[in-house]
Amino acid sequence: MKIRWHWGFGLAAVYTAFAAGTTGVALFAMRQQVDLVSADYYARSLDHDAHLAAIERTLALGDGVRVGLVGRTLDLSWPAERARPIAGTVTLYRPSSAAADRTIRITPDAAGMMRVPLADLPAGRWTVQLAWQAAGLTYYLEREVVVR
């Protein structure tokens, strides 16, 4: 004897499979880690014009500010005549993991040099973000480095 299926049974099976698939995708998406560029992304967007002005001031310095990677050490330099007094931060930003980001206070020596050891950082691509103030003006520089 041949079993004959009613069309309603097929429709219910398709609907059930679709609902189960949608639920599965939703559960998978809710368990994924989502890192924003920064936790205060929206607040920082309000300071965008000031940020652009800081970038333009830094570009006006020309090659005066340098970022270099020598082995597992990050070498930073500012023009000696502009190196004192400055205050700011060096942020080592990891695009793939917000938990790996590091922020260090800028402390250049008398020659305008600063060395940052990177021995504890995982290998990979990092963005070095320099944000500093000197003589009442703000500056900002961003460079990509690959730590090996």
According to the 3-state scheme, what is the secondary structure of 24-91? HHHHHHHCCCCCCCCCCHHHHHCCHHHHHHHHHHHHHCHHHCEEEEECCEEEEECCHHHCCCEEEEEE
pLDDT tens across 13-50, in order? 999 999 999 999 999 999 988 776 667 777 777 888 89
Q: Residue 54's pLDDT band (boundaries 50, 70, 90)?
A: very high
* Global pTM value: 0.71
Return the higher-pLDDT residue of 37 and 54: 54
SS3 98: helix
Number of domains in the chain: 2
**52 plus 94 within the same structural domain:** yes
**49 plus 79 within the same structural domain:** yes
How high is the pLDDT of residue 17?
A: 97
**Distance (Å, whole) CA 63 – CA 25:** 50
**136 plus 63 within the same structural domain:** yes
**69 plus 129 within the same structural domain:** yes
Tell me the CA distances in angstroms from 44 to 53, 69, 103, 131, one per residue in order.
14, 29, 17, 14
**74 plus 142 within the same structural domain:** yes
For residue 82, what is the domain's CATH number? Answer: 2.60.40.3080
- pLDDT > 80? residue 81: no
How high is the pLDDT of residue 36?
A: 63
**Chain centre to alpha carbon of residue 37:** 5
**Distance (Å, whole) CA 67 – CA 78:** 9
Domain limits for position 99: 41-147
Mean pLDDT, the chain, rounded, equals 88
